[in-house]
Structure 1
Amino acid sequence: MDFLLPEVETVVEIKMTRPSLSTKLLGEQLIVDIAKYKQHPMCRSLFCVVYDPSGRITNPRGVENDLSGDNEKMNVRVMIVPR
């Protein structure tokens, strides 16, 4: 967990791409993070920010759309930057 904002029950997870972090591996890591934070009592919203300065992530909007969403337990937003 990078940042917990308890007053708004929000977690901010930050990642940065690197040569050894493929799009597939990033997706797998985020899926694990999402599952973990769904169990956290102070997390109703999760923001995952991926800093990708070299454009290593193929189809960044697709990754964002696939992993972002709302359900009864937690709201998830994934953002890959820069756009």
Structure 2
Amino acid sequence: MVARQLRLRGEYRATLDVEDEFDVQDLMHALLRLHFDDIDTEEWTPSYANGAHRVMFLLDDGQLVLIVKKTRTGLSSKDLAGQLRADVEYCHTIKQKATLLCFVYDPEGRIGNPRGLETDVMRITDQLTVDVFIAPK
């Protein structure tokens, strides 16, 4: 998508390298600024992150929550699904009613069954609607 297009710049121009999850978060934050005037962030340190903090973007007065992930070597689809479920549970504790969108950037196609992972994590309850979008497919 956007990261791929940035790599296709002409005349040997420098580009933005999207190497890890933090790069994807920074790029997403910049893109969100095009559509949202008020973007809050919620930082937390999940047990799976080995002490590193994670960021959730809170949009529309917190009614829309965005989590950004990136696949990498050593992160299995099962582990990624577990991380997403942990993120969903955390979001459930901080928001009374919201829509949670989980965006997973998978540039190398590491997720063998992206639709299955999306379906596995998606859910709708009275308090939380969870949707997962993996790209590119």
Give the TM-score taking structure 2 as reference length.
0.57
What is the Cα deviation at residue 2 of structure 1?
Answer: 2.9
Higher relative contact order (CA 8 A, sep 6+): 1
SS at 1:12 equivalent: strand
Partner of 1:3: 57
Equivalent residue for 2:84, pick from 12, 25, 30: 30
Partner of 1:62: 116
Letter in 2 for 1:80: I
Q: Are the aligned partners of 2:96 and 2:127 in contact in 1 as well (CA < 8 Å)?
A: no
Distance 2:110 2:65 in 1: 25
CA-based RMSD: 1.5
Partner of 1:41: 95
Equivalent residue for 2:105, pick from 39, 48, 51: 51
Matching of residue 76 in structure 1 with residue 76 in structure 2: no
Distance 2:98 2:123 in 1: 12
Distance 2:110 2:119 in 1: 17
Unaligned 5+ residue runs, structure 1?
none
SS at 2:119 equivalent: helix
What is the Cα deviation at residue 17 of structure 1?
Answer: 0.5
Unaligned 5+ residue runs, structure 2?
1-54
Give the TM-score taking structure 1 as reference length.
0.91
Q: How many residues align?
A: 83
Change (3 A) 1:43 1:18: farther
Identity of aligned pairs, percent? 40
| Higher fraction of strand | 1
Q: Are the aligned partners of 2:57 and 2:65 in contact in 1 as well (CA < 8 Å)?
A: yes
